[in-house]
Amino acid sequence: MCAEKWENNEEINIFREYLRIPSVHPDIDYTACVEFLKRQANSLNLPVEVVYPAVESKPVVIIKWLGKQPELPSIILNSHMDVVPVYPDKWTHDPFAADIDEEGRIFARGTQDMKSVGTQYLGAIRLLKASGFQPKRTVYVTFVPDEEIGGILGMAVFVKADYFKQMNVGFSLDEGGTSASDVHHLFYAERIRWVLKLKVDGTAGHGSLLLPDTAGVKLNYVLNKLTEFRDSQIQRLKNDQSLSIGDVTTVNLTQLSGGVQSNVVPPLLEAIFDMRLSITLDLVAFEQQIRDWCKEAGGGIEIEFPLKEAFVAATKLDDSNPYWMGLKATLNELKLKVKPIVCFAVTDSRFIRQQGIPAIGFSPIINTPVLIHDHDEFLKAEYYLNGIEVYKKIIPNITEV
Domain co-membership, 246 together with 155: no
Domain membership flag for residue 327: no
Domain membership flag for residue 198: yes
Domain co-membership, 13 together with 130: yes
Domain co-membership, 21 together with 96: yes
Domain co-membership, 43 together with 153: yes
Q: Which of 11, 82, 201, 348 is catalytic?
A: 82
Domain co-membership, 142 together with 264: no
Domain count, the chain: 2
Beta-bridge partners for 134: none
Domain co-membership, 201 together with 159: no
Domain membership flag for residue 339: no
Greatest Cα pair distance in the chain: 82
Identify residue 289 by its one-letter amino acid code.
Q
Q: Which of 147, 148, 190, 377 is catalytic?
A: 147
Domain membership flag for residue 42: yes
Cβ pair 20, 10 in contact under 8 A: no
Domain membership flag for residue 237: yes
Domain membership flag for residue 217: yes
Domain membership flag for residue 314: no
Domain co-membership, 154 together with 230: no
Domain membership flag for residue 387: yes
Domain co-membership, 185 together with 205: no
Residues (pLDDT < 70) of the chain are 1-2
d(CA 150, CA 64): 25
Query: Among 286, 308, 330, where does a domain finish?
Result: 308
The answer to whether residue 82 is catalytic is yes
Query: Among 255, 286, 308, where does a domain finish?
Result: 308
Domain co-membership, 212 together with 91: no
Q: Is 282 exposed, middle or buried, given 0-12, 13-18 or 19+ CB atoms closer than 10 A? A: exposed
CATH number, domain containing residue 304: 3.30.70.360
Query: Among 281, 308, 335, where does a domain finish?
Result: 308
Domain co-membership, 301 together with 156: no
Q: What residues make up the domain containing 393?
A: 3-190+344-399
Tell whether pTM > 0.85: yes
Domain co-membership, 234 together with 371: no
Model pLDDT, residue 121: 98
Model pLDDT, residue 34: 98
CATH number, domain containing residue 357: 3.40.630.10
Model pLDDT, residue 2: 63
Model pLDDT, residue 87: 97
d(CA 343, CA 309): 15
DSSP for 63-79 reads EEE--SSTTSPEEEEEE
The answer to whether residue 147 is catalytic is yes
Domain co-membership, 150 together with 229: no
